[in-house]
Amino acid sequence: MAALVPAPLTSPPKPALAAAPPLAATRFGFANSVLGEPFTEWRASLPSRKTAPCANDPAGQAFVLCHGADVDLGGGYAARELAYVFVGGRLASISFKTSVDGFDFTTAVLKKRFGEPSLVVRDKTGRFNFPHVSMIWRNGRSTVLLSDPLPDYTHLSVRFIYGPLSTQLSKVKLRL
């Protein structure tokens, strides 16, 4: 008769860690805001947002525009004139301006977070034909657009757009 040999003690298998969602499955965002986020959640997410100035749409276009405090980008640069646009109660766009001198730093931050841009366009702008560059990051759900310089030549702009609300957002006529 064969002798019974006890099986070696093993720990139970560890549950598999959930893999990070691929970049294409994520929604872009900025400063603890995520595109597509409901207005009520955005408002409650940080103490400063509870009192952030927001204006309801005066022309009946069903949007809310909120302005946020400056956000440190690092490297001595700040995101200024932060604007959050909500369409149908969801965050459709985030935009800000920063110093044109921060172009290299800002693009490095965006590349680190979102990878290489999907499209880079170099052209001329304004009556003095200043060099202009646009960089666009897309992931199928969201778009980030960096435009340098703005018409005032001292700032560059960054705008995050939530794809599912882009059609409604394009109908919103406002100056950010």
Helix (H, G, I), strand (E, B) or coil at 114: helix
State the pLDDT at residue 10: 47
State the pLDDT at residue 91: 92
| Residue 145 to residue 161: CA distance in whole angstroms | 8
Q: With a threshold of 0.75, does the pTM exceed it?
A: yes
Domain ranges of the chain: 29-170
Encode pLDDT of 98-139 as tens digits. Answer: 998 988 999 999 999 889 999 998 887 766 677 788 899 988
Q: Domain 29-170 falls in which CATH fold?
A: Protein Transport Mog1p; Chain A (3.40.1000)
- Reported as a pLDDT band with limits 50, 70 and 90, residue 58 is low
Encode pLDDT of 66-103 as tens digits. Answer: 999 899 998 899 999 999 999 888 999 999 999 989 88
| Residue 34 to residue 3: CA distance in whole angstroms | 63
Helix (H, G, I), strand (E, B) or coil at 65: strand
Percent of the chain exceeding pLDDT 90 equals 31
Residue 37 corresponds to which tokens in the numbers above?
């986020």
User: Across-strand partners of 85?
Assistant: 65, 93
